[in-house]
Amino acid sequence: AELLDRIPVIYLHMAECTGCSESLLRTDSPTLESLIFDYLSLEYHETIMAASGWQAEENLERAMDVHQGKYILMVEGAVPAGRDSFYLTIGPHAHTGESIVKKAADGAAAVIAVGACATYGGIQAARPNPTNARPVSKIISKAVINIAGCPPSESNIVGTILHYILFGTLPALDSFGRPRWAYGMRVHDMCERRGRFDAGEFVQRFGDDGARRGYCLYRVGCKGPYTFNNCAIERFNQHTSWPVQAGHGCIGCSEPNFWDTMAPYEEP
Ligand code: SF4
Ligand code: SF4
Ligand code: F3S
């Protein structure tokens, strides 16, 4: 693609751990280099941009101005809001995260929330939510695409961006704003241990004989039957592994408010 065809992207970090960016960096088809040199023009991303301090803040302002109405805004992290917004201030002018997200969303062609924190509040918003952390969709009035998961796989992040680049439209979403192509089926529907579940072969305790044989993890707390995500197919770290393959049940990380609603993660 020509340089001018590349779609500008502004990627903001709010209250988060950067695990979602770490996941994105693992993309292999296309690679991150191809993504940001052939398809996207990454205008601002705190982890992988060269600029810092005043320069970084100027770059952000300029990108919002020059690419007004054309850029994709991606946000990682929840947003401390209202009178608690001062829990997150960024840059030499100490703007609140909330004010930056609102301003950036105003000029965006599309807004993508990346990860559990940005989509539904994540661990910051778990009870008692001491910083009044909110999902991006509660901060702005525009439609938000929610790429759920803690973190989402690189496939789910990049696949959603590529859908927008290739078709110029947002992908079909479910009732929680998640792209249906990635979050349309339950983890349990595609799990490689599903045959064990159907046969009634369950791990009873971590480390038991069933665990060594790769039995189903339902009895030790797997939330795969209640969780919508394609981890069993796409996996993580360049398709290397995923929670159940590694021997632990799904904790429901792509479901809204899973920290409060899905615990305990290990049973009995
Ligand atoms: Fe980190 Fe998980 Fe939040 Fe992503 S969703 S920033 S991996 S805590
Ligand atoms: Fe379902 Fe979890 Fe058992 Fe896999 S390990 S079959 S997701 S309950
Ligand atoms: Fe998350 Fe469950 Fe997949 S914990 S990574 S949705 S297997």
**What percent of the chain has a predicted confidence (pLDDT) above 90?**
88
What is the pLDDT, as a whole number, of residue 5? Answer: 74
Amino acid letter, 206: F
| pLDDT band, residue 1 (cuts 50/70/90) | very low
Q: Which of 113, 148, 182 is at the close of a domain?
A: 182
The predicted model scores a pTM of: 0.96
Does residue 215 carry a pLDDT above 90?
Answer: yes
> Which residue segment(s) compose the domain that 241 sits in?
187-261
What is the pLDDT, as a whole number, of residue 36? Answer: 86
**Distance from the alpha carbon of residue 261 to the mean position of ligand 3, in angstroms:** 15
What average pLDDT does this structure show over 94-100?
97
Beta strand 108-114 with 144-147 is parallel
Does residue 268 carry a pLDDT above 80?
Answer: no
Nearest CA among 131, 159, 121, 153 for reference residue 242: 153
Determine whether the annotation assigns residue 117 to a binding site.
yes
What is the pLDDT, as a whole number, of residue 170? Answer: 87
Q: Which of 152, 182, 212 is at the close of a domain?
A: 182
What is the pLDDT, as a whole number, of residue 31? Answer: 92
- For residues 173 and 215, state if they share a domain: no
| pLDDT band, residue 92 (cuts 50/70/90) | confident
What is the pLDDT, as a whole number, of residue 151? Answer: 98
Determine whether the annotation assigns residue 248 to a binding site.
no
- For residues 88 and 143, state if they share a domain: yes
What average pLDDT does this structure show over 61-74?
97
What average pLDDT does this structure show over 164-171?
88
| pLDDT band, residue 190 (cuts 50/70/90) | very high
- For residues 109 and 172, state if they share a domain: yes
What is the pLDDT, as a whole number, of residue 100? Answer: 98
Does residue 225 carry a pLDDT above 80?
Answer: yes
**Structural domain contains residue 134:** yes
How many structural domains are present in the chain? Answer: 2
CA distance 32 to 174: 27
| CATH code where residue 117 lies | 3.40.50.700
**Distance from the alpha carbon of residue 241 to the mean position of ligand 3, in angstroms:** 11
Q: Which residues does ligand 1 sit against, CB inside 6 Å? A: 16-17, 19-20, 76-77, 115-117, 122-123, 150-151
Q: Which residues does ligand 3 sit against, CB inside 6 Å? A: 149, 187, 227, 229, 231, 242-243, 250-254
63 SS3 class: helix
- For residues 55 and 137, state if they share a domain: yes
Kindly give the interhelix angle for 53-66 and 97-106, rounded to the nearest 10 degrees: 30
The region of weakest confidence among 16-25, 74-83, 131-140, 162-171 is 162-171
- For residues 140 and 250, state if they share a domain: no
**Structural domain contains residue 210:** yes
